[in-house]
Structure 1
Amino acid sequence: MSDIPRLFGTSGIRGEYQKKITLELAMDVARALAKYIGGKGKTVVIGHDTRTTGKIIEHVMIAGLLQSGCNVLKLGMVPTPTVGYATLKKQADAGIMITASHNPSQYNGIKLWNADGLAYKQNQEREIEKLVYEKDFNIVGWDEIGEEYDISSFKDEYVDDIIKVSEIDPNKPLKVVVDCASGAGSYLSPKALRQAGMNVITLNAQPDGFFPGRNPEPNSDNLQELMKTVKVLGADVGLAHDGDADRMIAVDEKGNLSDFDKLLTIIAKEFGGTIVTTVDASACLDTEIEKMGGKVLRTPVGDVHVAESINENNGTFGGEPSGTWLHPDFCMCPDGLLSGLRIVRAIQKNGKLSEQLDAIENYPTIREKITCDNNKKASVMEKVESDFKNEFDDIQEILTIDGVRIKFEDGSWVLIRPSGTEPYIRITTEGKTQAHLKDIETKSQNFLNKLI
């Protein structure tokens, strides 16, 4: 199937509405999914985030599913984890989430879920791409059209269940500021925290597909308001979500944005055992988990790779430094709402977030991205794989499971890999010393700039 065009990136299909994400494509993906899962009589859960194009894409996909004889369980506007969990709990055959996650308003996308709440794997995505490319669909007659059911009330069950599994203590109320980016978590994230007994202040909790308060990417530039609010109000923690709320980033009680790798490490320590993360995650996770007698396994970037490895290796917890965490004791769908509850629980148990973060060994890290047209990525990465190692003379290990990751003799490392969703080549550098970090970063940038 190598000659079949790729639709899926590292996290579903994404692109600008009416450019890559057309209504024709949405219809064909729905028909292809229906064919893939068996068509007539099968059941599919569907939900969307707050984007202005979400409902029209949903209508078209529902039509494609009904036309193929599938029944549809309609959640409405919900976070991505609610779709994954509903697919599992309702014993559906597949799930569809219509979202472009952290991308700007003009983008949208489609992500598919298995019956167990696990995102579609690459081989499954290739099968969908083949069916779309070949227009290989099964359309039923007028007397076999599927049925549509409203299951929007399932949201309440989802909230009850994430509160229960988080083991949050309602008798230790914390002051929590939550910034939902006007995205899909706008109703349910504050509701879950309040229902769990917390004192909640909200920012950008009005659903709005234009994302008027801030861009949906939860990074330092976009979370300045949250950081100031936490400090001014004397809150215990600030929580921020992306557009579909499968991610969570925290701000400590001093108003500082938490180091993403350290935040992941804090919750990983609550589980111990086998932790799964990606090639771009910090070595601080390995250091802390090894102290506990556990181990860390690494995968290519993308939550589906983390999820697969958790399943294959009986992992206790896993996630990416981006704030995309998987909780196998609940569901294999990344869940920013449950992640937020678990950070609150960790503060209740172990004290101030800033002190927990400071207790983790610090390795300075730089994450950058260099613009690169999608059609140039393959040729650029070929040169990276063949020539990048020649820039250094103290290499200990080279990994090519996802991009090129070079580990140096002192434990420092650099990773160059293409974005699966945007026109960038990403550079992640971690140094045991600031001087080594800067040296690696400068050489990496110069090397890529010459290529691109």
Structure 2
Amino acid sequence: MKVFGSSGTRGVVGEEFTPEFVSRVAAAAAATWDADRVALGRDTRTSGRTFADAAAAGVTAAGVDVERLGVVPTPSLVRYCDIESVPGVMITASHNPPKFNGVKLVGDDGVELPVDRLETIEERLLSEEATTVAWDAVGDSRRVDDANDDYVADLLAAVDRDAIAAADLTVALDPGHGAGALTSPEFFRELGCDVVTVNAQPDGHFPGRDPEPVEANLDDLGRLVRAADADVGIAHDGDADRAVFFDETGSYVEGDASLAALAERDLSEGDTTVAAVNVSQRLVDVCDAVGATLELTPIGSTNIITRVRELWAAGESVPVAGEGNGGVFFPDYRLVRDGAFIAAKFLELLAERGATVSEVIAPYEDYTNVRENVAYDSEEQLEAMLSAAAEYAERADAEPDTKDGYRLDYGDAWVLVRPSGTEPKLRVYAESRDPDRAAALAEGAVAALTDAKREAADD
């Protein structure tokens, strides 16, 4: 059984994800950590309090005190762990739909746990090794009410408030009813921005939109940008560790484009950046232009964090890293995806350039992305499709990168085939400046998978 994926563990509430499971995960973590107290936070999901209670029970049953921060963005919990030198448990399913919930684990250095630490906790969890203590050694519980206030103050001290205020920006903000609704409106107002909001009431039913900040879910934000004549639109996911943008016309900005713009601002010759195997050619081109090195990892924040730490240990400079889904790291500030900080760095970019969003991202727009999914209904179909993907990569006129599926780079274009970590699907990604080339690459991969699936179904 694999418990931890690319960003903690998640599941459908009442099915694979239960209070008993969360209590066991928290107890195993608490028993593994060398700590006498653990911080605990949650996002706005309707099941959040139930699972926070379960996590608190597991931690205290392991003989460790718990400090309950309440509803906080993940980066707020991470900051608390860093400042207080305590590990943490975050109850969140991030961008997943409302019926999901999950657990992220944070170390006492304020960084989500790397792969090897998660594996240690997973081994303890699955071994059924005792994690509880006697009646007179159980931990205590106390509330912490000022974590979000301190988090906002920390953000304000870390960005160029004067430059942003001088730009006189109007920000349209969509926290998506998530934990960022408690912090981001205040933060951007304190930066001197005029702020208008939509979906800014914390609500675990997510009545205005699903938590994932993708274009299909953000029509309200586009309309708000246009109605308010805003300079920029900003949207978060459920735990506010991501930020995606709309330009001044109310048009969605590809996350790969904003990542490239932010990376080009911070990268210098000799630096290294880290991204997942579905990285856009935009970032590849930025690294080539500035003389930086690009390192690829399997998809997921945990894998990026792990690789950044390895590069740090080797003495490498990694000023920026991330994925094109709005999850950008600025490791010199803190090794966490922080939606509010990401957005503030983008506002700094607008202020420095004295430019509109569309002008800032214009150099990174001349790319076409194609994304396709091929679902499977059985393990036989999955195995057949994976074999077909391997054969497709072997026949290709490019050396495959197999860190996570098969990525084929052609210099002017690339295609990636990989199994989804959350759904019974294989995902196909392709990108090129030439729309026809991107479509052809995707179609070739999809055809190979579809043929293999059909043959497996006929057997």
TM band (smaller chain): over 0.9
Q: Does 1:341 align with 2:344?
A: yes
Separation (CA, whole Å) in 2 of partners of 1:370 and 1:101: 24
Question: Secondary structure in 2 aligned to 1:185?
Answer: helix
Query: Which residue pairs with 1:248 in the alignment?
Result: 243
User: Is the contact between residue 118 and residue 304 of structure 1 (CA under 8 Å) also seen in structure 2?
Assistant: no
Give the corresponding residue for 2:139.
146
* 1:291 to 2:289 alignment: yes
Aligned to 1:26: 22
- Distance (whole Å) between structure 2 residues aligned to residue 105 and residue 376 of structure 1: 31
Equivalent of residue 277 in structure 2, options 274, 279, 295: 279
| Alignment-derived partner of residue 199 in structure 1 | 194
Which residue of the partner structure matches residue 163 of structure 1? 156
What is the deviation of 1:390?
Answer: 5.7
Cα deviation for residue 277 of structure 1 reads 1.2
**Which stretch shifts more, 7-16 or 374-383?**
374-383
Shift of 1:360: 2.8
Match of 1:357, SS?
A: helix
Question: What is the aligned counterpart of 1:371 among 368, 375, 398?
Answer: 375
Deviation at 1:87, TM superposition (A): 0.9
Question: In structure 2, do the counterparts of structure 1 residues 116 and 451 end up closer, same or farther at CA, with 3 Å as the change threshold?
Answer: farther
The equivalent of 1:223 in structure 2 is 218
Does structure 1 conserve the Cα–Cα contact (< 8 Å) formed by 2:245 and 2:252? yes
Q: Helix, strand or coil: the match of 1:383?
A: helix
CA 1:344–1:52: 2 relative to 1, 3 Å: same
Q: State the match for 1:209 in structure 2.
A: 204
Cα gap change, 1:102 to 1:356, in 2 (>3 Å): same
Aligned equivalents of 1:27, 1:248: Cα separation in 2: 31
Q: TM-score, normalised by structure 2?
A: 0.92
Report if the CA contact (8 A) 1:11-1:421 is conserved.
no
Match of 1:264 in 2: 259
Shift of 1:303: 1.1
Question: Given that residues 102 and 244 in structure 1 are in contact (C-alpha distance below 8 angstroms), is that contact kept between their aligned partners in structure 2?
Answer: yes
Residue 84 (structure 2) aligns with? 90
Q: Aligned partners of 1:236 and 1:370: how far apart in 2?
A: 39
* Matching residue of 1:7: 3
For 1:325 and 1:265, how far apart are their aligned partners in 2? Answer: 10
Distance 1:278 1:383 in 2: 23
User: Is contact 1:80-1:246 (8 Å) kept?
Assistant: yes
Distance in structure 2 (CA, Å) of the matches to 1:189 and 1:422 = 31
**TM-score normalised over the length of structure 1:** 0.93
2:311 aligned with 1:316:
no
Residue identity matched to 1:151: V
Query: Distance between the aligned counterparts of 2:285 and 2:123, measured in 1?
Result: 43
In structure 2, distance between residues paired with 1:248 and 1:138: 38
Structure 1 Cα separation of the partners of residues 176 and 291 of structure 2: 38
Q: How does 1:401-420 map to 2 (within 5 A)?
A: 401-408=403-410, 410-420=411-421
SS in 1 for 2:181: coil
Distance 1:374 1:136, change over 3 A: farther
Query: Which region of structure 1 is more displaced relative to structure 2, 355-364 or 186-195?
Result: 355-364
Cα distance in 2 for partners of 1:15, 1:341 equals 32
- Percent same amino acid at aligned positions? 33
Shift of 1:429: 0.3
| Residue 54 (structure 2) pairs with residue 60 (structure 1) | yes
- What is the CA–CA distance in structure 2 between the aligned matches of 1:377 and 1:124, rounded to whole Å? 33
The C-alpha deviation readout for 1:301-338, integer Å capped at 9, x for no partner, is 11122222222223111110111111212221211111
Structure 1 distance, partners of 2:30, 2:402, is 35
Distance 1:129 1:375, change over 3 A: farther
- My pick for the range that moved more, 147-156 or 358-367, is 358-367
Distance of aligned partners of 1:414 and 1:105 in 2 relative to their CA distance in 1, 3 Å threshold: same
**Partners of 1:381 and 1:417 within 8 A in 2:** no
Superposition RMSD on alpha carbons, in Å?
1.8
Distance 2:63 2:380 in 1: 41
| 1:343–1:28 Cα change, 3 Å | same
- CA–CA distance in structure 2, aligned partners of residues 326 and 400 of structure 1: 24
User: Relative to structure 1, is the Cα distance of residues 35 and 250 closer, same or farther in structure 2, using a 3 angstrom cutoff?
Assistant: same
Residue 423 in 1 paired to residue 419 in 2? no
Q: Equivalents in 2 of 1:90, 1:423: separation in Å?
A: 41
How is 1:94-173 mapped onto 2 (pairs within 5 angstroms)?
Answer: 94-168=87-161, 169=163, 170-173=165-168
> Cα gap change, 1:381/1:125 in structure 2, threshold over 3 Å: closer, same or farther?
farther
Q: Report if aligned partners of 2:385, 2:452 keep a CA contact under 8 Å in 1.
A: no
Contact persistence 2:372–2:446 (CA under 8 A): no
Greater CA drift, 383-392 or 209-218: 383-392
Measure the CA separation in 1 of the matches of 2:443 and 2:177. 38
Q: Deviations over 1:412-449 (max 9, x none)?
A: 11011122233332211012422211111111222222
Code of the aligned partner of 1:186? A
Counterpart CA distance in 2 for 1:198 and 1:159 is 15
SS of the aligned residue for 2:225 comes to helix
1:73-112 superposed Cα distances (whole Å, 9 cap, x missing partner): 21100111111111111110x2111111111111111111
Amino acid at match of 1:59: D
Three-state SS of the structure 2 residue aligned to 1:211 is coil
**Consecutive unaligned residues in structure 2, runs of 5 or more:** 312-316, 454-459
Amino acid in the other structure paired with 1:389: A
Q: Is the CA contact (8 Å cut-off) linking 1:163 and 1:341 kept in structure 2?
A: no
Alpha-carbon deviation of 1:376?
6.3
Stretch of structure 1 that moved more, 59-68 or 421-430: 421-430
Q: 1:87 to 1:363 in 2, by over 3 A?
A: same
* CA contact 2:225–2:250 (8 Å) conserved in 1: yes
* Structure 1 residues 173 and 243: alpha-carbon distance in aligned structure 2, compared to 1, 3 A threshold: same
- Residue 37 in structure 1 maps to residue 45 in structure 2: no
- Equivalent residue pairs, number: 442
Instruction: Give the corresponding residue for 2:448.
Output: 447
The residue identity in structure 1 corresponding to 2:281 is A
